[in-house]
């Protein structure tokens, strides 16, 4: 019996340096990076998402970057399927699969698993458009009391999803969720932690850098290329803010402040989620070079026989 492939997972909020550390790890361990960044999927979002350029990847193969059109859609189930396909391919080449990213739902879909019930139905959702959220919550309470108790009456997104699953399959989302299983690989998760003040400074520096690299021009170009408000790509930190700046609603300084604030808030949400994850080996990156951190992670990985 062949042991399932081992996967190195690198968790880190925005601006913890995980992109550079993943590249270092790829070089030291002989690995390939699978991006779990919910924005790097989209073609065209380069500067706003601080996507690593080909030069920055330094010869380390990267997957799931630029795999979706700007106005396209992607979701956690698709991501899981991609990872399920990519990991054995990478391991088959004798390389270490390095799953790196800050997309919490996407990482969860792999680590915790995601149930295989019915997918999204736009027709179903449209039919609910006119109905008040609390009414929908009441309907959910009738169908699935457990889910209704867990989901706040005002959390429309999740209420709708639960009703959608119920309507399409005749089974409750609660029942489905219990069947979710992690992908059948061996995982070792490393989390990158950074002291708050230092982390905050990194967010500011990163935002300055984006502006210098041409954030405003990039977003202007994307608007011309059909970036529309309803799309997933539009909902990226920095995009709405920059559009407001292009329309004259924000000065350049205000734009900077707004992006820093939105990014920080993202960092906090990501951190809260990662913090709650079990079985994560935490590594403090404060004030350290990427190579140094990667060296520590690689050593632990080898010691624990990650690829044994």
Partner RNA sequence: GGAGGGGUGGGCGAGUGGCCUAUGCCACCGAGCUGAAACCUCGGCGAUGUUAGCGCAUCCGCGGGUCCGAAUCCCGCCCCCUCCG
Residues that bind RNA (CB under 7 A): 14, 37-40, 48-50, 73-78, 102-106, 108-109, 112-120, 125, 150-152, 154-158, 160-161, 165, 173, 176-178, 180, 196, 232, 235-238, 261-266, 268-270, 272-273, 275-276
Nearer to RNA, 27 or 161 (CB): 161
Task: Closer to RNA by CB, 134 or 217: give it.
Answer: 134
Which residue in 217, 200, 194, 252 sits closest to 48, CA to CA? 217
* CB-nearer residue toward RNA: 27 or 150: 150
User: Is the Cβ of residue 160 or residue 255 nearer to RNA in the bound state?
Assistant: 160
- Both structure tokens of 27: 């070089």
Helix axes 104-111, 76-92, angle to 10 degrees: 60
Q: Tell me the closest approach of the beta carbon of residue 122 to RNA, in angstroms.
A: 8
Query: Which residues make beta-bridge pairs with 9?
Result: 99, 189
Choice between 29 and 192, CB closer to RNA: 192
CA dihedral sign of residues 277, 279, 285, 291:
negative
CB of 283 to RNA, least distance (A): 19
Query: Minimum distance from CB of 304 to RNA (Å)?
Result: 27
Please say which residue, 23 or 108, places its beta carbon nearer to RNA: 108
| Cα-Cα end-to-end distance for the chain | 14
**Count of helices and strands (H, E) across the chain:** 14, 6
DSSP-assigned letters across all residues of 69-107: -TT----HHHHHHHHHHHHHHHHHTT-EEEEEE--HHHH
Q: Given the complex with RNA, which of 190 and 236 has the nearer CB atom?
A: 236
65-103 in b/e form (b: 16+ CB < 10 A) is bebbebbeebebebbbebbeebbeebbeeebbbbbbbbb
Q: Considering only CA atoms, which of 213, 276, 210, 212 is closest in space to residue 238?
A: 210
CB of 22 to RNA, least distance (A): 14
How near is the Cβ of 199 to RNA at its closest, in Å?
Answer: 9
Between 92 and 278, whose beta carbon lies closer to RNA?
Answer: 278
Least separation in angstroms between residue 218's CB and RNA is: 13
3-state secondary structure of 68: strand
Q: How far apart are CA 16 and CA 255, in angstroms?
A: 22
Q: How far is the CB of 31 from RNA (least distance, A)?
A: 21
The least distance separating RNA from the CB of residue 123, rounded to whole angstroms, comes to 13
């Amino acid at each position: 019996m062949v042991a399932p492939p081992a996967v190195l997972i690198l968790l880190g909020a925005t601006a913890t340096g995980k992109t550079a550390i993943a590249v270092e790890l790829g070089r030291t361990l002989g690995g390939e990076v699978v991006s779990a960044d919910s924005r790097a999927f989209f073609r065209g979002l380069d500067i706003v998402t601080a996507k690593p350029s080909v030069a920055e990847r330094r010869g380390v193969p990267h997957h799931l970057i630029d795999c979706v059109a700007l106005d396209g859609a992607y979701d956690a189930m698709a991501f899981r399927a991609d990872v399920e396909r990519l990991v054995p391919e990478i391991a088959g080449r004798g390389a270490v699969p390095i799953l790196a990213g800050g997309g919490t739902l996407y990482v969860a879909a792999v680590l915790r698993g995601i149930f295989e019930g019915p997918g999204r139905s736009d027709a179903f959702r449209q039919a609910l458009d006119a109905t008040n959220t609390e009414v929908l919550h009441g309907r959910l309470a009738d169908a699935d009391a457990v889910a209704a108790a867990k989901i706040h009456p005002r959390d429309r997104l999740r209420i709708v999803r639960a009703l959608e699953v119920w309507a399409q399959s005749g089974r409750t989302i609660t029942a489905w969720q219990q069947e979710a299983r992690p992908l059948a690989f061996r995982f070792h998760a490393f989390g990158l932690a950074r002291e708050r003040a230092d982390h905050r400074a990194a967010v500011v520096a990163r935002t300055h850098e984006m502006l210098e690299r041409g954030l405003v021009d990039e977003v202007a170009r994307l608007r011309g290329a059909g970036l529309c408000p309803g799309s997933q790509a539009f909902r990226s930190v920095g995009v709405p803010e920059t559009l407001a700046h292009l329309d004259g609603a924000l000065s350049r300084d205000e734009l900077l402040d707004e992006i820093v604030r939105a990014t920080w808030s993202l960092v906090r949400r990501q951190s809260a989620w990662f913090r709650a994850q079990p079985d994560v080996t935490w590594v403090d990156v404060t004030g350290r070079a990427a190579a140094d951190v990667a060296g520590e992670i690689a050593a632990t990985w080898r010691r624990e026989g990650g690829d044994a």
